[in-house]
Amino acid sequence: MHTVIGFMVSIWKMPWYWRIWIGLLMLVNGIAPLLYLDTIESKVVLTVFVIAALTQVIIFHYKGFVRLLGIGHIYWIPLIGWVLIRLIEEPFIEAVQIWMGSLIVLNTTSLIIDLADVIRYWRGEKSATITVPR
């Protein structure tokens, strides 16, 4: 539990614009799906959200708040493809279409940012970007 708290404290120590960005990602991946629990899409998105978050917490536990944390979003690659296919093939109410479209755009953008961060990590930027007592 201490690791999870340290991870959340690190997020809150980030600049305001990154906190807003993370809030948007949490909204489309962890909160909005709760509104559509009758769909398989919401259940899959919530499952992937939890797996990605657990992956990031594990990385944080061993490495701290480093650029490698972006690798936790790797599960979004198949998720985005699957959600896109579902959006094209299935009729959804407008609110679900907006949520799914937002998820695709935000998660894809995040993956681009994550890729840059992971590359920077592998090129030698291994120090923690934010430090909290652990």
User: Considering the domain boundaries, does residue 28 fall inside one?
Assistant: yes
User: Considering the domain boundaries, does residue 75 fall inside one?
Assistant: yes
- Give exposure, 50-85, as e/b (b: 16+ Cβ within 10 Å): eebbebbbebbeeebbbbbbbbbbbbbeebbeebee
Q: 18 near 71, Cβ under 8 Å?
A: no
Residue 10 has pLDDT above 80, yes or no: yes
Residue 132 has pLDDT above 70, yes or no: no
Domain count, the chain: 1
**Over residues 121-132, mean pLDDT:** 85
User: Considering the domain boundaries, does residue 131 fall inside one?
Assistant: no
**Over residues 85-96, mean pLDDT:** 93
Whole-number percent of the chain with pLDDT over 90: 87
User: Considering the domain boundaries, does residue 128 fall inside one?
Assistant: no
User: Considering the domain boundaries, does residue 69 fall inside one?
Assistant: yes
Which range is least confidently modeled, 2-16, 42-56, 100-114?
Answer: 2-16
Structure token pair of residue 49: 């959200």
| Domain extent at residue 30 | 2-122
User: Considering the domain boundaries, does residue 129 fall inside one?
Assistant: no
User: Considering the domain boundaries, does residue 36 fall inside one?
Assistant: yes
Q: 31 near 41, Cβ under 8 Å?
A: no
